[in-house]
């Protein structure tokens, strides 16, 4: 635009044009103010994305990944958009420190992912994103890139989770629902329910992290299958499961995650989570 040349003229036509464009600008502002506010990124984004970190207190490379998982889980911009889960594997126990949160079952889960990915790599810290991609769990830029990629497309399934109050004898009734908007598998897909605990502090007495006090968040305490449903688009399937809660777990630090997973490919098609009250 020849803005300078236009401003140097004083004819009536230019003055009229200025008033005309000013009126258009004011009208545009009025229309914008009357319109509905734009949705927030959290409200309009897809997800949530399930982040599974395979970690161990016996591994000196794992604390940075544990801290990153805590950071992602506590980021207000990602609230409701990511579901972090920490699975502590048991194959680091040979270093002399027995991770109090590890279990052979979590190591077996990681091995199942290696088979699904056609890989012979079993390592920590490994982050699996929505059951279909993996990376080193401490590499923040790569982790964030994979989270963004996972959030770019709407999940094919919708999952709901609701919790009854924890009973005095330590039982938690979880009501779940799942529905697929499109066909994802020829057979059934499984709806899993996990209980996680956060804010766990451990003084480590041996191994690669000896003499350190480690914080672990979103530690998976239990993982149970609630129901199976056809891998085809259709009506919502609902069910419930009652889970025992160990008295040693801190009730105010517990949460429940539910996710829909293909038993063949291990891809996750939808998820939901809720804190225990």
Say how far apart CA 212 and CA 90 lie, in whole Å: 19
Q: Which two tokens stand for residue 121?
A: 């790599």
Query: Shortest CA distance to 159 belongs to which of 182, 131, 178?
Result: 178
200-248 pLDDT per residue, tens: 999 999 999 999 999 999 999 999 999 999 999 999 999 999 999 999 9
pTM value? 0.84
Return mean pLDDT, the chain. Answer: 87
Give SS3 for 2.
Answer: coil
CB-count exposure of residue 20 (10 Å: 0-12, 13-18, 19+): exposed
CB-count exposure of residue 156 (10 Å: 0-12, 13-18, 19+): middle
> Helix 62-74 and helix 140-151: axis angle, to 10°?
40
Q: Where are the domains of the chain?
A: 45-275
- Please answer whether residues 268 and 132 qualify as being in contact, where contact means their C-beta atoms are separated by less than 8 angstroms: yes
Which pLDDT does position 277 carry in this prediction?
Answer: 83
108-160 pLDDT per residue, tens: 999 999 999 999 999 999 999 999 999 999 999 999 999 999 999 999 999 99
250-268 pLDDT per residue, tens: 999 999 999 999 999 999 9
Architecture of 45-275 per CATH? Sandwich (2.60)
Q: What is the mean pLDDT of residues 49-69?
A: 98
């Amino acid at each position: 635009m020849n803005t300078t040349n236009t401003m140097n003229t004083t004819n009536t036509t230019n003055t009229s044009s200025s008033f005309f464009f000013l009126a258009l600008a004011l009208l545009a502002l009025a229309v914008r103010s009357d319109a509905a506010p734009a949705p927030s990124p959290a409200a309009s984004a897809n997800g949530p994305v399930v982040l599974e970190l395979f970690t161990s207190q016996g591994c000196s490379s794992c604390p940075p990944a544990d801290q990153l998982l805590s950071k992602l889980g506590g980021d207000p911009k990602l609230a409701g958009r990511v579901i972090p889960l920490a699975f502590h594997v048991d194959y680091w126990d040979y270093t002399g420190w027995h991770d109090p949160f590890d279990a052979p079952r979590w190591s077996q889960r990681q091995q199942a992912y290696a088979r699904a990915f056609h890989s012979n790599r079993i390592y920590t810290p490994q982050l699996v994103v929505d059951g279909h991609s993996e990376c080193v769990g401490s590499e923040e830029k790569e982790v964030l890139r994979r989270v963004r990629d996972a959030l770019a497309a709407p999940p094919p399934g919708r999952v709901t989770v609701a919790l009854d109050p924890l009973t005095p004898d330590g039982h938690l009734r979880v009501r779940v629902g799942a529905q697929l908007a499109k066909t994802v598998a020829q057979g059934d897909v499984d709806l899993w329910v996990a209980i996680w605990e956060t804010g766990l502090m451990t003084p480590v007495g041996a191994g690669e992290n000896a003499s350190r006090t480690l914080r672990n968040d979103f530690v998976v305490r239990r993982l149970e299958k609630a129901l199976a449903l056809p891998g085809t688009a259709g009506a919502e399937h609902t069910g419930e499961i009652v889970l025992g809660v160990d008295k040693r777990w801190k009730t105010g630090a517990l949460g429940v995650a539910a996710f829909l997973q293909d038993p063949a490919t291990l891809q996750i098609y939808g998820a939901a989570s809720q804190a225990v009250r």
